Amino acid sequence: MSRVICAGHVNWDVTLRVEALPDPDGEVAVDSRRSGGGGSAANVANGLVDLDVDSALLGSVGDDEHGRTAREELVDSGVDADHVITDPETDTTTKYIIVEPSGEVMVLGCPGANEAFEAEDLPEEALASADHLHMTSQRPETATRLAERAREHDVPVSFDPGRRIDQRGYGPALTSVDYLFLNDREAALALDAFDLDGQTLVLKHGPDGAEVRRGDRRSAHPGYPIEVVDTTGAGDAFAAGFIAASVDGADDDRALAVANACGALASKAPGARTSLAWADVRAFLGE
């Protein structure tokens, strides 16, 4: 079985569904509220386990109930959380996710412990035995060092820097990895600011599917028509699907088809984590 290490945020998510966002000085009713573990790295690790990939997680939580519960949820799902450290000085990071009827989201974040981990918190033997390292939003220096260490062991690295790509000094990390996962906005910013000719770009176009760019080569998949419920975690599910297919030896066309199916499954259900059972993925693929 392939082994993938995910490095990045472990959060506690509070998801609020509303009829519409309020106007300034306005108020709307909350239709539903749910809480649970979140964070992009944790979500991808959870999705990989669903897809029969052995996954481990490098991240950090606070010494509080939310941190303990988030860790327990991951372990119960089958994720190796031995490298999730506990910061006794800070609370677990909480994200408030507001979801409109269209499925689009707005995120309000409270600072916390989700970037307390260091690159050196991942033991050498753990990294050396991995088949892939996937990084999500984290401190730029941590991401760069992790990519350097992975390269020393010939471990392929992917990076999904997230929506704050233009607010952090991610340049050295972006140019140190093998794969970059970017949505349209993030791609426009990154391609304008950095020379990414050496990276494989996995571009997420939302309802218009996705594509892979390897130099002059292009592969594209149109995605699947669905009724969107909640896009929270859809990008993480997409990444889990692409990585799971890739480490199993799939080509880009197959990896994109699997990734889009996983993103669609996540968008059809509320919350940041949705079961990515292969039976459901294959149904999207028509197999």
Cα within 13 Å of Cα(213), Cβ side: 14
From the candidates 64, 87, 236, 252, which is the catalytic residue?
236
- 119 with 126: CB under 8 angstroms? no
In the chain the first and final C-alpha atoms are separated, in Å, by: 23
How far is Cα 28 from Cα 43, in angstroms, rounded to an integer?
A: 29
Residue by residue, what is the 3-state secondary structure of the chain?
CCEEEEECCCEEEEEEEECCCCCCCCCCCEEEEEEEEECHHHHHHHHHHHCCCEEEEEEEEECCHHHHHHHHHHHHHCCEEEEEEEECCCCCCEEEEEECCCCCEEEEEECCCCCCCCHHHCCHHHHHCCCEEEEECCCHHHHHHHHHHHHHCCCCEEEECCCCCCCCCCHHHHCCCCEEEEEHHHHHHHHHHCCCCCCEEEEECHHHCEEEEECCEEEEECCCCCCCCCCCCHHHHHHHHHHHHHHCCCCHHHHHHHHHHHHHHHHCCCCCCCCCCHHHHHHHHCC
- 261 with 238: CB under 8 angstroms? no
Examine the residue annotation and report whether 236 is marked as an active-site residue of this protein.
yes
Residue numbers annotated as active site: 236
